[in-house]
Amino acid sequence: MGPVINEQQLRRIAGYMDVARQDGVEILCGGEIAREGELARGFFFKPTVLGNCRPGMRVCQEEIFGPVTSVIVVDSLEEAGRVSNDVPYGLVASIYTRDVNKAFKFIEESYTGIVYVNAGTIGAEVHTPFGGTKATGNGHREGGAQVLDVFSEWKTVYIDPAGSSGLRSTCYPSAADASGLRPRAGARSSAR
């Protein structure tokens, strides 16, 4: 079962099922609030798969924030890419294939923050930058070593080797970024 944050969100997800039915979508499984046994005491929605979907439908264009997926049948990799990119959001995309060339083509053309190959779109890899494109999230990547770029302002220092007596050039984070943060741990001078 899919746990939901509160009753308001549970009813919002259920409302999308009404929208889906009005648009001619087929609810292949789930599609309702879970009210059996102990589940009735919380906020649970049955995992739902929607079929007979077309790209422009609301259930394919909006973030439902529940255990709901829409199945859109396409005829080619190119069409799959267009359908995937033709939504107002772009957090993650996934492709399942045995053809590495198709995988790289999809990766290159996918306008999302994260692309998975032969894996589900769980979005829980804390060691990598996490963030999306378009109307998804806050526009920058959080997590991973790359997050340092968000909180650091980099400064390049060039020292003329002719008169440096052992000093060399390097890049390092400045003493403080524009928001007054302290230098990140491990920042170092290149003087010897």
Is position 18 within any domain? Answer: yes
Tell me the residue ranges of DSSP E strands in the chain.
2-3, 26-29, 44-45, 48-51, 68-70, 89-90, 92-95, 114-117, 133-134, 154-157, 170-173
Residue pointed to by tokens 């829980």: 124
- Both 129 and 156 in one domain: the answer is no
Residue 146 has pLDDT above 90, yes or no: no
Rounded Cα distance, 115 and 19, in Å: 29
Structural domains of the chain, count: 2
pLDDT in tens, 94-123: 999 999 999 999 999 999 988 999 998 875
- Both 83 and 16 in one domain: the answer is yes
Is position 164 within any domain? Answer: yes
Is position 7 within any domain? Answer: yes
Residue 23 pLDDT: 97
- Both 185 and 106 in one domain: the answer is no
Residue 144 pLDDT: 66
Is position 141 within any domain? Answer: no
Average pLDDT over residues 175-189: 46
Is position 77 within any domain? Answer: yes
Residue 162 has pLDDT above 80, yes or no: no
Is position 49 within any domain? Answer: yes
Q: What's the chain's average pLDDT? A: 83
- Both 123 and 175 in one domain: the answer is no
Residue 71: pLDDT band (50, 70, 90) is: very high
Residue 133 pLDDT: 86
Q: Which CATH number covers residue 19?
A: 3.40.309.10
Rounded Cα distance, 117 and 134, in Å: 21
Residue 141 pLDDT: 66
- Residues belonging to the chain: 192
Rounded Cα distance, 181 and 15, in Å: 45
- Domain, as residue range, for 176: 152-192
- Both 72 and 110 in one domain: the answer is yes
- Both 118 and 192 in one domain: the answer is no
CB 134 within 8 A of CB 111: yes
- Closest CA relative to residue 145, chosen from 132, 171, 126: 126
